[in-house]
Each structure stands twice: as C-alpha cells, then as structure tokens.
Structure 1
Amino acid sequence: MNDVKTIILEQINNFGIIRRISKYEEKATYQSHYLGLIWQFLNPAIQIGIYYLVFGLGVNQGRKADGVPYIVWMLIGIIAWFFINSSILGGSNSIYRQVGMVSKMKFPVSILPLVNITSNFVSYRAMMILLMGTMFGFGISPTIYWLQYIYYFICMIAFLFAFGVLNSTITVLVRDYHIMLQSILRLLFYISGPIWNFKTMFRGTSHRWFIRLLELNPIYYIIDGFRDSFLSKGWFWEKGTQTIFFWLVVMFLLIVGSHIHMKFRARFVDFI
C-alpha cells in the first residue's frame, strides 16, 4: 500500500505539470495539420457516422434501444469507449514514448499515464457537447439520475489511471504487450456494449449467464452506468455486486501496477 500512496501523492503534487504537458501534447499532435485540434472532434465524429450507418440503420434497422433513438443510445456508449480506448492505448505507451524527456527532467514518470488521460479531455468534452445537443434534440430532458454521471466519470478515471500505471510499466518491460493490448481492445469493443444492446439480444433466461459474465467487465460497467444515468434507468447502488467487483478490480490493478512501477522505474532507461 505504500507504493499506492506514493503514486497517488505524485499525481497530486505534480498536478500543475500534468496540465502543462497535456496541453503541449494536444497542440503538438495536430500542429502540422491545417484543421489542427478540430481533428480531435472530426475524427471520432466520422467514425460515429459510420457505426450508425452500419449498426443503427443496417443491423438495427432504425429501431429504438432502451426506449430512445438508437443514435442517442449509441452515442452515450461510443463516446465513452473512444475516450477509454485512446486513454488505455496512449497510457500504455506513455512512459516508453516519453522516457527520453523524463530522463532529462525532474518529475516522476508515474504522472505520464495521467497526462495522456488529461490530453484526451478536449476530444471528450467536444463529443459530450454533441451528445447533449442530440439528446435535447430528441426531447430527452435532464433528471435527478444525471447527477450520478459524476460517480461513473470518477469510476472511469480511476479505472483508466490504475490500468494505465500497470500497462505503461509492462510495456516498458515487454514491448510486445502494447501490440497485444491493441488486439484485446478490438475484441473488447464488441463485448463492452458501445454498439450492441446485449440485454435485448439475450433477453431469455437461458442466456442470462452471458449478461452476468459481461457485467464483470469494468468497461461494460462504466458504459452501462452512463446509460443508466442519462436514460434515467437506475442508481449505481442498485448494482451492489457489480459495483463491489468493479472497485475490487480497480484496487487490484492499482496495487499491482504501483508495486511493479516502483520496483522497476529506476531501470526504465536501461530496459528501453
């Protein structure tokens, strides 16, 4: 637990540095492009359009999901997925990619996964504005359930940070891990719920075991929680088992990731 405490204190004590580096990365990524930061909104918007044509109009044939238009239901999940996916992949490669800079500057490398998460907020905020506009356009009004979005947002950041510390360390030690993680995320896209409504697809009691299995997926828990919030379906404490399991997974990832990180970080440059 001392390793966890050290890692968390490093994030708090270096919060200013995290913000400055993340802003620099935002500008540096698209500085050579004519549209600049607009691509952070335009790129996911194009992908959303493609997914809606294929799954919304094609597979789903324009039917509603959970009583709302499919585009609204999909947007809630896929916007969260884009942020989670980019944060996991970027966080996994954050130390390996920036270790040269870190070796010349005095700040802990443990902040780099959080730097990556922070730099993804620009795109996430823009997409959330699109989501709000779409929901209001379809007549979906705010309710008291929307307040628990804050809880699920904290869940998302906690999971991404804990997973990022673990992934970024393993990527330095085993370079093939990052490539393997990319393949795993491609699979998780289809079983984490951003485009498929599994509760409708497997409504029969004989397939209830499959839903129970999916609910163990932390990403599914977050995406389903966002839908519970914006579509006013229920409170997070009504998912007692899922909630406890989710936080146990986060604590496990944070404890293991912090321990491995503290054990090897003095030798990161040697491994690379």
Structure 2
Amino acid sequence: MKNVIMIIKEQIDNFGIITRVSKYEEKATYQSHYLGLMWQFLNPLIQIGIYYLIFGLGVNGGRNVDGVPFIVWMLIGIIAWFFINTSLLGGSNSIYHKVAMVSKMKFPVSILPGINIMSNLVSYGWMMGILLVVMLGFGIYPTIYWLQYVYYFICMIAFLFAMGILNSTITVLVRDYHIMLQSILRLLFYVSGPIWEIQSRNFPTMLVKILELNPVYYIITGFRESFLSQGWFWEKPTLTLIFWGIVATILIIGTHIHMKFRARFVDFI
C-alpha cells in the first residue's frame, strides 16, 4: 500500500503539470492538420456512423434495445469504449515514448499515464455533448439516476489509471506487450457490450456471468443504467465489490512493479 499512496500523492502534487502538458499534447498532435482539434471528435463520429450502419441497421435491423432507440443505446456504450480504448493504448506507451525526456526533468514518470488520460478527456467531452443532444432529441430527459454518472466516471478513471501504471511499466520492460494489448482490446470490444447486449445473445448462462466480471462491461453497463434510468449501482453489490477488487489488485501490482523498475527505465529503453 505504501507504493499506491506514493503514486497517488505524485498525481495530486503534480496535477498542474498534468493539466498543462495534456493541453500542449492536444495542440501538438493536430497542429499540422487543417481541421486541427476538430479531429478529436470527427474521428470517433465517423466510426460511430460506420458501427451504426453495420450493427444498428444491419445486424440489429434498426430495432430498439430495451425500449430505447439503438442509436442512443449504442452511443452511451461506444463513447465510453472509445475513451477507454484510446486511454489504455496511449497509457501503455506513455512512459516508453517520454521517459528519456522526463528523466531530465523534475516531475515523476508516474504522471505520464495521467497526462494521457487527461488529453483524451477533451474528445470524450465533445462526444458526451453529442450524446446529450441525441438523447434529448429522442425524448430522454434527465432523472435522478443521472447523478450516479459521477460514480461510474470515477470508476472509469480509477480503472484507466490503475491499468495505465501497470501497462506503461510492462511495455517498457517487454516491448511486445503493447502489441499484445492491441489484440486483447480488439477482443474486449466485442465482449464488453458497446455494440450489442450480451444477455440477448445465445451465450451459456455461465459464460454471461463470467463476461459480466469484465471491468469495462461494468462501466459501460453502469453508464447505460444511469442515463436510461434503469437502476442504481448499489443494487448489484457483488459486481461492484468485484470491480473495485480488480482495480485495487491491478493498482497494487502496477505500483509495485513501477516503483521497483522506474529508476532503470532509461536502461531498458
């Protein structure tokens, strides 16, 4: 737990640096493009259109899901997935790409995954604005259930931060890990619920229960339950405890490995 407390303290002490560097990275990424930062939401918007044509109109035939228009149901899940996927992949490479530079400066390398998450929040914010407009357009209005969005957002950030510390450290030690992570995320896309409802598939009951233990599925389902007023997170205590148990385990392992090897990151690279 000592390592966990130290890493979290580093994030708090350097929050100003995380914010400033993330803003710089946003501008640097798109500075040579004519549309600039607009690509932060144009890219996912184009992908959403493709997924809706294939899965919404093609596979699903335009039918509603639990009485909700498919486009709304899909948007809630896929916007969260885009943010999670981008943050996991970017976080995995965050230390590998920047450790040589950071080693000459005065802030700890542990904040690099946090900078990556912060950078992706701008695009996520744009997409959430689009989601809000679409939901209002379909007559889905705010209810008291929307308040628990804050809880699931915290769940998402906690999960991404824990994974960022673990993945970024392993990627420095074993470069092939990042490539393997890309393949794992492609599989997770289809079993985490952003584009189809797992319970509606003809999967064995035991397999469905196993898939429900996936932290990404917990987050995506939670966002849907919040925006579509389907239930509270404390109504599924077992899954909630399992989720936070997984996050805590990942964070403990990740911080331990990170603190053990970070003095030698430059040597590994």
With normalisation by structure 1, the TM-score equals 0.98
Q: Which runs of 4+ in 1 moved over 2 A?
A: none
Q: How far off is 1:67 after superposition?
A: 0.9
Return the alpha-carbon distance in structure 1 between the equivalents of residues 215 and 37 of structure 2.
Answer: 30
Q: How far off is 1:111 after superposition?
A: 0.3
| Map of 1:102 onto structure 2 | 102
| Map of 1:25 onto structure 2 | 25
Q: How far off is 1:22 after superposition?
A: 0.3
| Map of 1:231 onto structure 2 | 228
Return the alpha-carbon distance in structure 1 between the equivalents of residues 66 and 115 of structure 2.
Answer: 36
Query: Where does 1:101-250 land on structure 2 (aligned, <5 Å)?
Result: 101-202=101-202, 207-250=204-247
Q: Which residue identity is paired with 1:201?
A: R
With normalisation by structure 2, the TM-score equals 0.99
Return the alpha-carbon distance in structure 2 between the equivalents of residues 210 and 236 of structure 1.
Answer: 22
Return the alpha-carbon distance in structure 2 between the equivalents of residues 210 and 69 of structure 1.
Answer: 27
Return the alpha-carbon distance in structure 1 between the equivalents of residues 152 and 26 of structure 2.
Answer: 25
**What runs of 5+ residues in structure 2 fail to find an aligned partner?**
none
**What runs of 5+ residues in structure 1 fail to find an aligned partner?**
none
Q: Which residue identity is paired with 1:256?
A: I
> Percent of pairs identical after alignment?
75
Return the alpha-carbon distance in structure 2 between the equivalents of residues 91 and 68 of structure 1.
Answer: 34
Return the alpha-carbon distance in structure 1 between the equivalents of residues 208 and 147 of structure 2.
Answer: 26
Q: How far off is 1:208 after superposition?
A: 2.3
Return the alpha-carbon distance in structure 2 between the equivalents of residues 183 and 207 of structure 1.
Answer: 24
| Map of 1:269 onto structure 2 | 266
Q: How far off is 1:9 after superposition?
A: 0.2
Return the alpha-carbon distance in structure 1 between the equivalents of residues 173 and 199 of structure 2.
Answer: 39
Q: How far off is 1:23 after superposition?
A: 0.3
Q: How far off is 1:104 after superposition?
A: 1.6
Q: How far off is 1:211 after superposition?
A: 1.9
- Deviation per CA, 1:174-206: give whole Å up to 9, x if none: 00000000000000000000001112224xxx8
Return the alpha-carbon distance in structure 1 between the equivalents of residues 188 and 267 of structure 2.
Answer: 33
Q: Cα RMSD (Å) of the superposition?
A: 0.8
Query: Where does 1:25-64 land on structure 2 (aligned, <5 Å)?
Result: 25-64=25-64
User: SS state of the match for residue 57, structure 2?
Assistant: helix
Return the alpha-carbon distance in structure 2 between the equivalents of residues 170 and 63 of structure 1.
Answer: 43
Between 1:210-219 and 1:114-123, the stretch displaced more is 210-219
- Deviation per CA, 1:24-79: give whole Å up to 9, x if none: 00000000000000000100000000000000000000000121100000000000
Return the alpha-carbon distance in structure 2 between the equivalents of residues 208 and 235 of structure 1.
Answer: 23
| Map of 2:250 onto structure 1 | 253
Q: How many residue pairs are counted as aligned between the two chains?
A: 269
- Deviation per CA, 1:123-147: give whole Å up to 9, x if none: 0000000000000000001111000
Q: How far off is 1:80 after superposition?
A: 0.1
Return the alpha-carbon distance in structure 2 between the equivalents of residues 184 and 200 of structure 1.
Answer: 23
Q: Which residue identity is paired with 1:142?
A: P
Between 1:99-108 and 1:133-142, the stretch displaced more is 99-108
